[in-house]
Amino acid sequence: MYEEEAVRIGAYRPFVHEWFYTSRQMNDMVYKMPVLFPTAHHQNLAIVLPGTGHRKDFSVLIVDTTPDLHVHMDGAQCFPFYYYEKPSEQKGQGGLLEDVEMATDADGYVRRDAITDAALADYRAHYLDGSIGKEDIFYYVYGILHSPEYRERYANDLKKMLPRIPFAPDFWAFSKAGRDLAYWHLNYEKIDPYEGLEIVIKDSAKNLPPHTLYHIDKMEFAKLTGRERDKTIIHCNGYITIKGVPLEAYEYVVNGKPAIEWIMERYKITVDKDSGIRNDPNDWCREHEDPEYIFRLVQQVVRVSVETVRIVGNLVGLV
């Protein structure tokens, strides 16, 4: 039976949202996602890492909605800020839930902190700072995981096991950096586009209807010679070209590919050769009555990339 409430928006790939269906009738394996995001209106944040044995260089991404297993190609693992549970599901397990009457929300869930009180106490004791909170620790971890020094020093370990988080000398520098990174990575659809871009629209196309003018078949870089491409120029379609993309923006790589190239790869029309099913990203624009969505998204992710490179480049040392 179709369940309207099971239709949600999830993080399919880095900076790519898609509709998905959460019903267990159609999903054989949902892992712990119902604990992290039990309904569409339960808020949470999760730091998504590649699983052990990943083949690509280590990267990390924060999400505020259910991620696809292959947000990292070799399988993703999520570390949330909260987790949700129903007291009724804990009965008979011998835990404290049986002894304490807890306040539940309208859906019968109790929200719990994923960062333990013991971890909080350890951080406060180590840094001799009682003002450190669990949210500060969460963003500290996100900042540490972006450190080039951390990734280089522990590169071999990061392929074999889940990350271990050191006590860096400057807690607040990493916590602030992680918080700033999270702002850009979570709000990429809401921010203003990168200002340094030149938008070129053919004169013959300026009077076209918006859904025609901004229709995307496949975005491409400008050609140079042979197989070389000019990544400062992106041809959105036959009418619109974006010029002036800073090359440093391509230094922001997540899941083995620059964030900008994830947008170019995923937002194109494809047809599955076996089923014949057509995947048209322009449908999203029509559904949301926003014909400029993809065109604007490219510019927004350029800005996210530039800001990420700037923040990461200014990170302090681990020792």
Residue whose tokens read 């404290």: 96
SS3 string, 184-246, reads HHHCCCCCCCCCCCEEEECHHHCCCCHHHHCCCCCCEEEECCCCCEEEEEEECCCCEEEECCC
Q: What angle do CA 255, 45, 171 make, to 5 degrees?
A: 85
The one-letter amino acid code at 33 reads M
Per-chain mean pLDDT for the chain: 93
Structure tokens of 313? 């480049």
DSSP tag of 108? S
Q: Is residue 3's pLDDT more than 90?
A: no
Distances (CA, A) of 4 to 7, 86, 276: 6, 22, 26
- Which residues have a Cβ under 8 Å from the Cβ of 288 and sit 6 or more positions away? none
Structure tokens of 275? 């089923």
Give the mean pLDDT of 198-209.
96
**For the range 109-113, what are the long-range contacts, defined as Cβ-Cβ under 8 Å and sequence gap of 24 or more?**
109/38, 109/42, 109/84, 109/85, 110/84, 110/85, 110/86, 111/42, 111/82, 111/83, 111/84, 112/82, 112/83, 112/84, 112/85, 113/81, 113/82
User: 97-106, 170-179, 200-209: which range is least confident on average?
Assistant: 97-106
Helix axes 171-186, 293-313, angle to 10 degrees: 170
Q: How far apart are CA 274 and CA 129, in angstroms?
A: 59
Q: Is residue 48's pLDDT more than 70?
A: yes
Instruction: Give the residue from 39, 45, 42 showing the smallest Cα distance to 62.
Output: 45
Structure tokens of 57? 């260089």
Instruction: Give the residue from 98, 92, 109 showing the smallest Cα distance to 39.
Output: 109
Q: Is residue 192's pLDDT more than 60?
A: yes
What pLDDT, on the 0 to 100 scale, is given for residue 170?
Answer: 98
Q: Is residue 316's pLDDT more than 60?
A: yes
Residue whose tokens read 């990061």: 158
Residue 198, beta-bridge partner list? 243
The pLDDT tens digits of the residues spanning 268-283 come to 999 999 999 999 999 9
Residue 221, beta-bridge partner list? 234
Give the mean pLDDT of 21-50.
91
Q: Is residue 99's pLDDT more than 50?
A: no
Structure tokens of 135? 């949210």
pTM score, whole prediction: 0.93
The pLDDT tens digits of the residues spanning 108-144 come to 999 999 999 999 999 999 999 999 999 999 999 999 9
Q: Is residue 94's pLDDT more than 80?
A: no
Structure tokens of 214? 């901004």
Give the mean pLDDT of 15-19.
95
